[in-house]
A and B are shown apart, each in its own frame.
Chain A
Amino acid sequence: MNKLKSDLGDLADPAAYSFPIDVRGADKDTLIKYLIDMLTIRITEEAVGKLVEEGLARTPCHLGIGQEGIAVGVSASLCKEDRVLGGHRSHSHYLALGGDIYGLLAEILGKATGVSGGMGGSMHLNGKSVGFYGCVPLVAATVPIAVGAALAAKMDGSKAIAVSYFGDGAAEEGVFHECLNLAATHRLPIVFVCENNLFSSHLDILLRQPSDRIARFAEAHQIRAKTVDGNDVLAVASSAAEFVAYARDGLGPAFLEAVTYRHRGHVGPKDDVDVGVRRTMSELAAWKRRDPIARLVAGMKSNRLIDDVAVENLLEEIRTSVADARRKAEQAPYPPVSALLGLVYRRA
Chain B
Amino acid sequence: MNTPAEVTYGEAICQGFEYLLSNYRNVFAIGQGVWSPWYVGNSMTGLEERFGKERVIDTPVSELACTGAAIGAALCGYRPIVIHPRMDFMLLAVDQIVNQAAKWSHMLGGEVAPAVTIRAIINRGGEQGAQHSQALHAWFAHVPGLRVVMPSTVADARDLLVASVLCDDPVMYIDDRWLYSRTAALEEIVERPLIGEGPVVRRPGSDVTLVGTGFSSYLCEQAAERLDDCDIDAEVIDVRVVNPFDPRLIIESVTRTGALCVVDGGWAPAGFAAEVIASSCEAIPPTTLTAAPLRITLPFAPAPASRALEECYYPTEASIVAGVQRLLGARSPVSTDKFSSLTPQPAIAKRGKSR
| Residues in A lying within 8 Å of B, measured CB to CB | 83, 85, 114-120, 124-126, 128, 133-134, 136, 138, 141-153, 155-156, 162, 174-175, 178-179, 181-182, 185, 339, 342-348
Contacts and interface: CB of A to CB of B under 8 A. Distances in A.
Contact of B59 (A119, A146, A150, A182): A182
B67 interface: yes
Most chain B beta-carbon contacts within 10 A, residue among A141, A147, A178: A178
Contacts, number: 155
Interface stretch (B35-43, B72-80, B123-131, B258-266): B72-80
A331 to B, nearest CB: 19
Given A116-B108, A120-B108, A152 B65 contact: no
Interface in B43-85: 54, 59-60, 62, 64-78, 80
Nearest to A123: B107
A144 B64 contact: yes
A147 B73 CA distance: 8
Given A148-B69, A149-B73, A178-B62, A155 B105 contact: no
21 contacts: A116-B111, A124-B107, A124-B108, A133-B112, A134-B112, A136-B99, A136-B107, A141-B99, A143-B65, A144-B64, A145-B68, A146-B72, A148-B75, A148-B80, A151-B72, A152-B77, A162-B72, A175-B62, A181-B65, A346-B169, A347-B195
A64 to B, nearest CB: 20
Nearest to B72: A148
A136 B102 CA distance: 13
Interface in B167-218: 167-169, 193, 195
Nearest to A85: B72
A100 B302 CA distance: 52
A117 B72 contact: no
B109 A117 contact: yes
Most chain A beta-carbon contacts within 10 A, residue among B60, B147, B244: B60
Most chain B beta-carbon contacts within 10 A, residue among A119, A174, A175: A175
B144 A145 contact: no
Nearest to B28: A155
A244 to B, nearest CB: 18
Given A178-B66, A347-B195, 9 more contacts: A119-B108, A120-B107, A133-B76, A144-B67, A148-B75, A148-B80, A178-B60, A181-B65, A343-B105
A181 B112 contact: no
B267 interface: no
B315 interface: no
B104 to A, nearest CB: 7
Given A175-B65, A346-B169, A155 B54 contact: yes
B166 to A, nearest CB: 10
A181 B100 contact: no
A348 B78 contact: no
A23 to B, nearest CB: 37
A181 to B, nearest CB: 6
B108 A148 contact: no
B71 to A, nearest CB: 5
Contacts of B147: 345
A163 B21 CA distance: 29
Most chain B beta-carbon contacts within 10 A, residue among A146, A148, A347: A148
Contacts of A348: 168, 193, 195
A174 B164 CA distance: 29
B140 to A, nearest CB: 14
Contact of A178 (B64, B112, B193): B64
B69 A344 contact: no
Interface string B90-118: 00000110011000111111111100000
B73 A126 contact: no
A343 B144 CA distance: 10
B145 interface: yes
Contacts of A347: 195
A116 B109 contact: yes
Which 7 residue pairs of A and B lie closest in terms of their CB atoms, listed nearest first? A148-B72, A144-B68, A117-B109, A178-B65, A148-B69, A152-B76, A178-B62
Contacts of A142: 68
A177 B112 CA distance: 27
Contacts of A342: 110
Contacts of B96: 141, 144-145
B105 A346 contact: yes
A253 B168 CA distance: 30
Contacts of B59: 182
B108 to A, nearest CB: 4
A345 B111 contact: no
Contacts of B104: 134
A144 B63 CA distance: 11
A134 B68 contact: no
Contacts of B76: 83, 133, 148-149, 152-153, 156
A347 B62 CA distance: 33
B71 A345 contact: no
Contacts of B95: 138, 141, 175
Contact of B65 (A126, A182, A345): A182
B109 A182 contact: no
A257 B60 CA distance: 25
A128 B72 CA distance: 13
Given A136-B100, A344-B105, A175 B113 contact: no
A149 B72 CA distance: 5
A163 to B, nearest CB: 12
Nearest to B108: A126
Given A181-B60, A182-B59, A147 B69 contact: yes
Contacts of A144: 64-69, 71-72, 96
Nearest to B243: A345
A181 B62 contact: yes
Nearest to B116: A148
Contacts of B70: 148
A46 to B, nearest CB: 25
B168 A147 contact: no
A329 to B, nearest CB: 15
Contacts of A149: 72-73, 75-76
A182 B73 contact: no
Contact of A182 (B66, B99, B195): B66
A117 B195 CA distance: 24
Contact of A126 (B62, B71, B109, B193): B109
Contacts of A128: 111-112
